[in-house]
Amino acid sequence: NLNKGARIGLIGFAANAHIISVITDDMSNIKHLLPFLDTDLVYVQGTRLFAALKTAEQMLASEQGINKSILIITDGGITDLESIDLVRDLAQKNIITHTLGIGTQEGVKFVNEKGGFIQRDGQTLVSKLDKSKLLEISSAGGGKYFDTHHSDSNTQEILHQINVRNNFLEKDTLSQGGRQWEDKFY
């Protein structure tokens, strides 16, 4: 609701990545799709970020302009170590990675639709915020880490980071003698 011009795409991920929405400026489409995101959509559990980052990189490659960012929203329980190297590579390509931490450091047990605890291999599944991992990712990606809370201040700060960078890049482009044309169609 606060977005005023940033184009947004949406990727859901667990063990695999799935494009929920291509990059668009149609926020009503994104808002329409959000309620359908559910853990029941995922058949293979896990938190593997690499596939989601590769998918985001491919989506961003087709976008014009030089101000590109990725926002990772997760508890930080990422299991693939190569994702940090990919975040660094993306930063070298001028794609900034921010992280938004979900959950608490104490952790919460996963609950199924019947109210029971979800178990895997005899162990109750727990989601804990791994803030240090998310700080590492955002640092490697040239971005910032944000804590989740119920106000919209973190959303405003994320949009501010994108706009500040966009203004800086636009001034830099103008000082080099031109602007990047961006088709908007009708």
The tens digit of pLDDT for each residue in 135-154 reads: 999 999 999 999 887 788 88
How far is the C-alpha of 17 from the C-alpha of 131, rounded, in Å?
Answer: 22
pLDDT for 170 equals 46
Using an 8 Å Cβ cutoff, are 89 and 82 in contact? no
Q: Flag whether the pTM goes above 0.75.
A: yes
Higher pLDDT, 53 or 161: 53
Range 7-13 contact pairs with CB under 8 angstroms and sequence separation of 24 or more: 7/63, 9/56, 9/59, 10/34, 11/52, 11/55, 11/56, 11/59, 12/37, 12/41, 12/42, 13/47, 13/48, 13/49, 13/51, 13/52, 13/55
The backbone torsions φ and ψ at residue 46, rounded to the nearest 5 degrees and listed phi first, read 140, 170
Residue 90 has pLDDT above 90, yes or no: yes
pLDDT for 39 equals 64
Confidence of residue 21 (pLDDT cuts 50, 70, 90): very high
Q: Strands 95-101, 68-74: parallel, antiparallel or unpaired by DSSP? A: parallel
Residue 93 has pLDDT above 90, yes or no: yes
Higher pLDDT, 122 or 173: 122
The tens digit of pLDDT for each residue in 33-65 reads: 888 887 666 556 667 899 999 999 999 998 888
